Amino acid sequence: MPRLQRVLIANRGEIAVRIIRTLRETGRTSLAIFSEPDRTALHVLMADEAYPVGPGPSRESYLNPERVLQVAKRVRADAIHPGYGFFAENEAFARACGKAGIVFIGPSPETIAALGDKLAARKAALAAGVPVVPGSEGPVGSRDEVRRLAREIGYPLMLKAVAGGGGKGMRVLRSDAELDAAWDLTRGEAKAAFGDERMFVERYIERPRHVEAQILADARRVAFLGERECSVQRRHQKLLEETPSPAFDAKTRAAFGEAACRVARQVRYHSAGTVEFILDEQQRFYFLEVNTRLQVEHPVTEMVTGLDLVAEQLRVAEDLELSFGDMPPEPRGWSMEARIIAEDPARNFLPSVGVIERVQFPQGPGVRNDSGIYRGYEVPVFYDSLLAKLVVWGADREQARRRLVRALDEFVLEGPHHNLAFHTWLALHPAFAAGELSTRFLEDHWRPGESKPGPEAANAALLAAALHERAVRERVQIGGREDGATSASAWKWAGRERGRR
């Protein structure tokens, strides 16, 4: 296949910026699309070319397949990278790209279809000899069928949308009394979000860990690039991820990686993907689903492997082999990612919007910032509230954790409500420091109003105040003039004063 030179990014925000950077490094032309509210978004400003695709609502712009493909054909795009969300797991869109003669950077439409249906994915895992959570073999057709399964499996149960994802279309059932309301709510949510009201049930494991396997596959091989711990969540959506998992030893990791690769081989997977599992308190893992795309948390894997997963996706899309052949790089060290989100943790993580009045990203050893914001940018109401991803690396988990605390303390963000202080609370919590995690971590430990800076942040504030006081004294004493002037210029002092505010 010829080299893919002109790549359209069917996405926005930080993931579009991240893809643009790889395209630029590999000598390709980046083609951005934007809705009207995103006209001055960072991905638009950074791309080589940018084209309007419609008004603010995503259904009329980013999620309108006809408009996106019209733009792609008009600007002579060789390929489309969907990022994550939007069209990343849309079998119909991937198929439409092929019909238009445009390469879809991701798995084949057939693979997306096979794994997008959670029941079909369960069957593929069972065929590959991978354990799944006990549950219904097919969609449940009535409340009575759920009650019958509850007698066989036992409460609690998880009622799940067949086409679900992103934490939507899921309800925990603890008794028959909760069934009627949960049935109506989950079915309605599934139909609204996915256009598919089918549901199934699984046994609900009370305090599992959510651990996923990063895989890369070309035409010849499937490679396991390590696991990611994603247990810290709110409303089934991840807040902080890390690799490796503090729960794994070498034996568990080997079995886990082999199980993930068996599932991928079963469906002839290619490109980047994530095989998700839950781990119970007895260290038994069960298959959940496959995300047929790049994950939000992929940077932690890049930090410990040194790979560029977007560059690997491009190689596979061009029918080339993975850059490392049969020998995946051995992960080195530890990495954590904090999702910086426009939301108010003290008000049940209520989303927030507004203008970014000030932003200063942390820097220093082992720190990476993936972001789509800048000072003066207005966070729109139409899209996901993820602002940035703060990623750190350390030689071991404790160094990575401490580096995360330090970086959070350096991070300045003013404007909408955000969760920076929440992440500081989390990183300093004794249970998190000990690696004692589960998907119920917030239910067990979080109390609104507790997201206050911890000891490190408090000490830093005291030090800053002391330095400021000393500077004021020196300003009066140096130079010997009664008006307090010094040998430093007035411009320099003005800059220093402004920086302290």
462 and 451 part of one domain: no
Residue 408 lies in a domain: yes
Task: Report the 10 Å Cβ neighbour count for 363.
Answer: 10
The residues that are catalytic are: 293
The secondary structure of residue 221, as a DSSP letter, is -
Question: Do 172 and 32 fall into the same domain?
Answer: no
Give a yes or no: residue 380 inside a domain: yes
Please state, in angstroms and rounded to a whole number, the distance separating the CA atoms of residues 129 and 317: 29
Q: What is the CATH number of the domain that holds 364?
A: 3.30.470.20
State residue 100's pLDDT score: 97
Q: Which residues contact 30 (CB under 8 A, 6 or more apart)?
A: 7, 9, 19, 20, 23, 24, 46, 47, 48, 49
The pLDDT tens digits for 243-264 are 999 999 999 999 999 999 999 9
Q: What pTM did the predictor assign? A: 0.85
Do both 198 and 226 map to the same domain?
no
Q: What is the CATH number of the domain that holds 153?
A: 3.30.1490.20
357 and 401 together in one domain: yes
Asked which of 184, 203, 222 is the last residue of a domain, the reply is 203
14/71 same-domain check? yes
Structural domain count of the chain: 4
Q: Are residues 61 and 153 located together in one domain of the fold?
A: no
Percent of the chain with pLDDT over 90: 79
Burial of 154 (0-12, 13-18, 19+ CB in 10 A): exposed
Cis peptide before 448 (omega within 30 of 0): no
Instruction: Examine the pLDDT at 372 and tell me if it is beyond 90.
Output: yes
pLDDT tens for residues 451-476? 554 444 444 444 444 444 444 344 33
In a domain, 157, yes or no: yes
Q: Judge if 446 and 476 occupy the same domain.
A: no
Considering the domain architecture, whether residues 493 and 461 belong to the same structural domain is answered as yes
CATH at residue 27: 3.40.50.20
Domain boundary among 170, 203, 236: 203
Structural domain of 12: 6-105
pLDDT tens string 402-429: 999 999 999 999 999 999 999 999 999 9
Burial of residue 305 (CB within 10 Å: 0-12, 13-18, 19+) is buried
Residue that terminates a domain, selected from 152, 180, 203: 203
- Residue 110 located in a structural domain: no
DSSP 202: E
Q: Which of 164, 14, 190 is nearest to 89 (CA)?
A: 164
Residue 181 within any structural domain of the chain: yes
Q: What is the pLDDT of residue 500?
A: 42
C-alpha R_g of the chain? 24
Domain match, 326 and 368 both:
yes
Residues 378 and 245 in one domain: yes
Please indicate, yes or no, if residue 307 is contained in any of the structural domains: yes
Q: Is the pLDDT of residue 63 over 60?
A: yes
Residue 116 lies in a domain: no
Alpha-helical runs (H) found in 143-238: 143-153, 179-194
- Tell me how far apart the alpha carbons of residues 234 and 388 are, in angstroms, rounded to a whole number: 17
pLDDT of amino acid 195: 85
Quick one: 219 and 90 in the same domain?
no
Chain centroid, CA 58 distance in Å: 19
- For the stretch 207-219, pLDDT in tens is 999 999 999 999 9
Helix (H) or strand (E) holding 88: none
Mean pLDDT for 15-27 is 98
**Euclidean distance between CA atoms 88 and 109, whole angstroms:** 11
Tokens of 459: 């000490």
Instruction: Report the b/e string of 414-435 with b at 16+ CB within 10 A.
Output: ebbbbbbbbbbbbbbbeebeee
Q: Are 186 and 201 in contact (CB under 8 A)?
A: no
Tell me whether residue 126 is in a domain: no
Q: How many C-alpha atoms does 477 have within 13 Å on its Cβ side?
A: 6
How many Å apart are CA 438 and CA 480, to the nearest integer? 62
Region 190-211: mean pLDDT is: 90
Residue 383 has pLDDT above 80, yes or no: yes
Mean pLDDT over all residues of the chain?
89
Same domain, 263 and 244: yes
Residue 433 has pLDDT above 60, yes or no: yes
